[in-house]
Amino acid sequence: MNDHIAAALQDFTQRYCQHWQQLHGHLPASEELYGIPSPCAVENRGDAVLWQPQPFDAEPHLAAVERALELELQPAIVSYYTTQYAGDMQANFEQQSLTLLQVWSEADFVRVQENLIGHLVMKRRLKQTPTLFIATTETDLDVISVCNLTGEVIREKLGTPEREILAADIRIFLNGLQPVISSF
């Protein structure tokens, strides 16, 4: 199953990079990640960094998250966050616009784990089902997450029990993504 998650993520990333290349004639660019060290950074161009995905080379686990909350995580979410280093990518899933969150570097991986811990602590305090975010939306309070109990991909409104199932699992979700390329 984890190999299927990695393959689906890599497939989407390849489609995203190819689409960007076709529209702009170069690798994906990010102004937000400019100046932040990463194995993905290929070239600085103006106020942006051009990037390409790289294999994840740290320990492939989210043990810090599991230890902090005494919680076993869905293997799919571990695979998602430990497949590659890449820039965040814009996409559509059906009618939902989103930004697929990625790990930019080993230092960013530590920050992502800290944010996942904070998110899970909030869910626990609110006595809600544990979820792990994988994407943001245009609405600040809505995030795309994986339910740690079922593995379903959901859109949830932070701080509320409101949620909508988007896909039965993360592989189906990733396979259903369509790249959205911003102007550069």
Domains and CATH numbers, the chain: 2-179 (3.40.1580.20)
In Å, how far are 34, 105, 178 from 37, measured between CA atoms?
8, 7, 28
Phi-psi region of 78 (alpha: psi -120 to 50; beta: other; left: phi over 0): alpha
* pLDDT tens digits along 135-158: 999 998 999 999 999 999 999 999
First to last CA, the chain: 36
* pLDDT tens digits along 27-76: 999 999 999 999 999 999 999 999 999 999 988 899 999 999 999 999 99
- Closest residue by Cα to residue 136 from 112, 109, 117: 112
pTM here?
0.95
Half-sphere exposure of 125 (CA within 13 A, CB side): 8
- Do 114 and 103 meet the contact criterion of CB atoms below 8 Å apart? no
The structure tokens 């790289």 sit at 54
182: confidence class by pLDDT, cuts 50, 70, 90 = confident
The torsion defined by the Cα of 182, 180, 42 and 144, in degrees rounded to 10, comes to: 110
Beta strands in 24-162 (DSSP E): 29-30, 41-45, 48-51, 54-55, 84-85, 89-93, 96-100, 131-137, 142-147, 153-157
